[in-house]
């Protein structure tokens, strides 16, 4: 997969967190396209290719925040896992919460991983690098066409 454009969908309502993610991804050496939506409903519209997202490319990986307006992360996760085409996409919950119940619920709803956002920017970059390294170098995931 190295060398190809990797499509990533980030569902994040905090502009600063989104921007930090963008910066963190820039630091990595992998080619990737980071698409960002800021609420749960937009995430679903994007994934189902509805409205303004008709031309979107189905992402290879989803980074999902839990505290989202309109529809929260868990609801988005349920919708994704209900859909045959979408349920194979790895979903990484990336959130501020380290609440036991949020963690449990996320895995219960078949999230691939649950990661708490570090406050320290260097650690944040480390986390993004770890994600990229694991999913796009170490692990094999289905490539979306």
Partner 1 sequence: MVRSVNQKTAYALILAGVLFLASTAATGWLFSNLINAQWWVSHTHQVIEKGRELMIAGIDLETGQRGYVCTQKELFLDPVKRSRIQFQNSPKQLFDLVSDDPAAQDIARKIQLLAIEKLAFVDQILQIAKTDPHKAADLIGTARGKVIMDKLRDQVKAMEDRQQQLLLERRASLEQLQWSVIGAVSIVTIFEVMTLGYVYLLNQKHSLAQEKIRRALEEENQRRRESEEALKIASDNLRRSNQDLQQFVYVASHDLQEPIRAIHGFTSILARKLEPVLTDETRKSMGQITSGAERMRTLIEGLLAYARVESRGEQFKSVDMDALINSIVQEDLKMRIDETGAQVTVEPLPVIQGDEGQLRMLFTNLISNALKYKRDEPPRVKVEAVSGKHHNVISVQDNGIGFDQKHADRIFVMFQRLHSRNQYEGTGIGLALCKRVAERHGGTITAKSTPGQGSTFIVSFPKALTQSQSQESVTLTTEA
Return the residues of window 4-23 that contact partner 1 according to CB under 8 A: 14, 16-17, 19-20, 23
Q: How far is the CB of 82 from partner 1 (least distance, A)?
A: 26
CB 98 within 8 Å of CB 127? no
Query: For the sheet containing 6-11, what is the strand order?
Result: 32-37, 6-11, 61-64, 91-95, 113-116
Angle between helices 73-82 and 40-48 (to 10 degrees): 20
Q: How far is the CB of 24 from partner 1 (least distance, A)?
A: 9
Q: How far is the CB of 66 from partner 1 (least distance, A)?
A: 10
The answer to whether 29 contacts partner 1 (rule: CB under 8 A) is no
Nearest to partner 1 of 74, 117 (CB atom):
117
Residue 92 CA to residue 76 CA, distance in Å, equals 12
Q: How far is the CB of 26 from partner 1 (least distance, A)?
A: 10
Q: How many residues bind partner 1 (CB under 8 A)?
A: 19
CB 70 within 8 Å of CB 44? no
Q: Which of 72, 58, 142 is nearest to 105 (CA)?
A: 72
- Interacting residue ranges for partner 1, rule: CB under 8 A: 14, 16-17, 19-20, 23, 67, 96-97, 99-101, 117-122, 124
């Amino acid at each position: 997969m190295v060398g190809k454009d990797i499509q990533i969908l980030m569902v994040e309502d905090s502009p600063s967190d989104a921007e930090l993610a963008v910066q963190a991804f820039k630091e990595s050496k992998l080619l990737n396209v980071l698409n960002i939506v800021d609420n749960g409903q937009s995430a679903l519209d994007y994934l189902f290719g509805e409205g303004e997202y008709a031309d979107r490319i189905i992402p290879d990986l989803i980074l999902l925040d839990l505290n989202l307006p309109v529809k929260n992360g868990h609801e988005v996760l349920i919708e994704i896992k209900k859909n045959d085409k979408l349920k194979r996409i790895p979903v990484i919950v990336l959130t501020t919460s380290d609440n036991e119940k949020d963690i449990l619920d996320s895995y219960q709803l078949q999230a691939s991983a649950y990661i708490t956002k570090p406050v320290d920017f260097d650690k944040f970059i480390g986390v993004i690098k770890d994600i990229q390294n694991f999913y796009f170098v170490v692990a094999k995931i289905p490539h979306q066409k």
